[in-house]
Amino acid sequence: MVHSDYLIRGIFRKINARFVFAETTGTVSSGIKIHDTDPVAAEIFAGALTVGALVSALLNKGEKYSLRWDYTGKISSIIVDVNADCDIRGIIKEPHLMDKVSSEQEIYGEKDGFISIIKSESGKILNSGKTRTAFGDAVADAGFFFSVSDQLETEFSTAIEFNPDPQNPVKRAGGFMIQAMPDCNLTELEKYRKNICQPEFVDFLLERMPSEKKLWVLAAAAAGESEMFADKNLLSYDYGNSPGFRCSCSFEKMKMAMSVLDKTELTALFKENANPSIMCNFCRKEYRFSKKDFQL
């Protein structure tokens, strides 16, 4: 089944806060299949990938976020890379958790891990930060990072519903982010933050409906209104780049990684294996090389 993921970004004018809403069903499904995650790991990985999609809307053309969660529990670490085009890729260190844990605390460990985020452009670091994983939850910890490190009050809400089919593991996945802007009404923002974390809001994230109708339903739920906004002027929005699990690896990049070996080392390597290979940790694609690739 083909899923058309999308992203909508905008502003709640009444309180002067930005929001981002993303449908990530196809993106998450690709990540889960590539890394062969079990349901426990899949739910965590889905949240991290969806956070990546949401924060892509904060980037300018050519910029990239690298998010890394490091926990002391069995999950160990999660890495997500995303650029302004919403090309997302990720790694989950432990894709199989079901038989290794019996509680959420065992998954994340003590709340003394770290989340670090690097913003870069053309390989040059623009800024970076690191905070403790205060909540022991990948999505909540991302919100804590932006609230503390970037000093922008931020809340994320993500949702996933599974299919029993391993070839089509995700029925629906998506997320919503709200973030303070200058002169934001922080008292009202706090109400919105609490509302998007309510079970009813998560249920709306999983409903199937046209994108713009879904946006208005979510916006009303975030604002605590029972019906969709009557005054459309209270909200401004546009469509951003469509999310997708798209890796930036290439034959040339992998060849460059092999080129750190000197000629003697490369010769010895090809003596042991006529066609050595490197696998991309993000997308699991394998690249094979021959002697002629290195003029040996």
> Residue range 120-143: average pLDDT?
96
Indicate whether 29 belongs to any domain: yes
269 with 238, same domain: the answer is no
262 with 142, same domain: the answer is no
Q: CA 227, CA 221: separation in Å to the nearest integer?
A: 8
Which CATH number do you get for residue 40?
3.55.30.10
* DSSP at 239: E
Indicate whether 190 belongs to any domain: yes
186 with 61, same domain: the answer is yes
Indicate whether 1 belongs to any domain: no
Which CATH number do you get for residue 266?
3.90.1280.10
Place of tokens 């040996």: 296
Share of the chain above pLDDT 90, in %: 86
Indicate whether 215 belongs to any domain: yes
Which domain does 266 fall in, by range? 251-294
CA angle 199, 170, 107 (to 5 degrees): 65
108 with 241, same domain: the answer is yes
220 with 143, same domain: the answer is yes
Q: CA 170, CA 41: separation in Å to the nearest integer?
A: 13
Indicate whether 40 belongs to any domain: yes
> Residue range 226-246: average pLDDT?
81
Lowest-confidence pick of 24-38, 143-157, 170-184, 227-241: 227-241
Q: CA 184, CA 182: separation in Å to the nearest integer?
A: 5
What one-letter code names the amino acid at 260? V
Mean pLDDT of the chain: 94
pLDDT at 1: 47
Indicate whether 288 belongs to any domain: yes
Q: CA 63, CA 123: separation in Å to the nearest integer?
A: 9
Per-residue pLDDT tens for 32-59?
A: 999 999 999 999 999 999 999 999 999 9
The yes-or-no verdict on residue 150 having pLDDT over 70 is yes
The gap between the terminal CA atoms of the chain, to the nearest Å, is 45
24 with 87, same domain: the answer is yes
Domain boundary among 226, 245, 264: 245
115 with 228, same domain: the answer is yes
Domain count, the chain: 2
The pTM assigned to this predicted structure is 0.94
273 with 241, same domain: the answer is no
Per-residue pLDDT tens for 75-96?
A: 999 999 999 999 999 999 999 9
> Residue range 245-255: average pLDDT?
96
The yes-or-no verdict on residue 228 having pLDDT over 70 is no
The yes-or-no verdict on residue 230 having pLDDT over 60 is no
pLDDT at 3: 63
- Residue 237: count of CB within 10 angstroms of its CB: 18
Indicate whether 17 belongs to any domain: yes
53 with 154, same domain: the answer is yes
pLDDT at 295: 84
259 with 175, same domain: the answer is no
Indicate whether 15 belongs to any domain: yes
More confident residue, 230 or 60: 60
Q: Where are the alpha helices (DSSP H) in 68-161?
A: 104-108, 138-148
Q: Which residues contact 68 (CB under 8 A, 6 or more apart)?
A: 77, 78, 79, 80, 115, 116, 117
39 with 18, same domain: the answer is yes
121 with 259, same domain: the answer is no
